[in-house]
Amino acid sequence: HYLEKMAKAEEKKHNFISSKLSNTMVHLQRVQEKKENLNMSNDLAVQSKHMRSLTEKYGRSKRIEKDKEAKKSDIHMKQLSKQERAHNNMIVKAREEKERIRYLKKKMFEKEMSGQKVKETIDFENEQRKEIQKLKRQDHYENYKVREHKLQNIYKQRLINKLMEKRQRADKIKQQQNRIMSFVSMSKNSSL
């Protein structure tokens, strides 16, 4: 059984090599025919003016073909450069998008942190405002007490002044009454 497999493998190998040889032989024949045809066409081109004009036309058409090939090559190169630019632009845009996302994440984090700071500062400001209002109330109360005390002193002074004025008037009235009484008593004494 093993020998059969080996024989089949050798046969396949032999067939493969023989097909390769036959293919190369056919190819060599074609190349030889092309060479002969080329030599014949060269001989004919040299012998005939008409053939020269044909070869010149063929040369022109070859130049035209070369120009077409060059244009195709230019177009192909332009397309390649466009594709490369588009690829580079996509890479740049992706990088920019990553940077933008990173920046936005950073801003969001800063915003969250600043939100906490803002809350803390608002709480601190509220506490300060309450303390200021408390101090204002105390100050207002103290000022009120001071003003009340001053007003009381002013009222006392006014009352004292009024009482003094009344006493002075009363004293004047008493003096006048005493004078009148003494005058009346003198007149009574003189009339007696």
Tell me the per-residue pLDDT of 51-94, one tens digit each, with 9 for 90 and over.
Answer: 556 556 666 667 767 777 888 888 888 888 888 888 888 889 88
The pLDDT of residue 186: 80
Dist. CA 31–CA 148, nearest whole Å: 131
Q: With 0-12 CB in 10 A as exposed, 13-18 as middle and 19+ as buried, what is 191?
A: exposed
The pLDDT of residue 22: 79
User: Which tens digits make up the pLDDT trace of 113-125?
Assistant: 777 777 888 888 8
DSSP letter assigned to residue 135: H
H or E element at residue 41: helix 2-47
Using alpha carbons, select from 55, 32, 31 the residue that is nearest to residue 42: 55
User: Which tens digits make up the pLDDT trace of 127-147?
Assistant: 988 998 998 888 888 888 888
The pLDDT of residue 42: 59
Q: Write down the pTM of the prediction.
A: 0.29
Q: Please give the single-letter amino acid code of residue 159.
A: L
Confirm if 45 and 51 have CB atoms less than 8 A apart: yes
Using alpha carbons, select from 56, 111, 190, 99 the residue that is nearest to residue 91: 99
Neighbours of 58 (CB within 10 A): 13
Instruction: Copy the structure tokens of residue 72.
Output: 């195709």
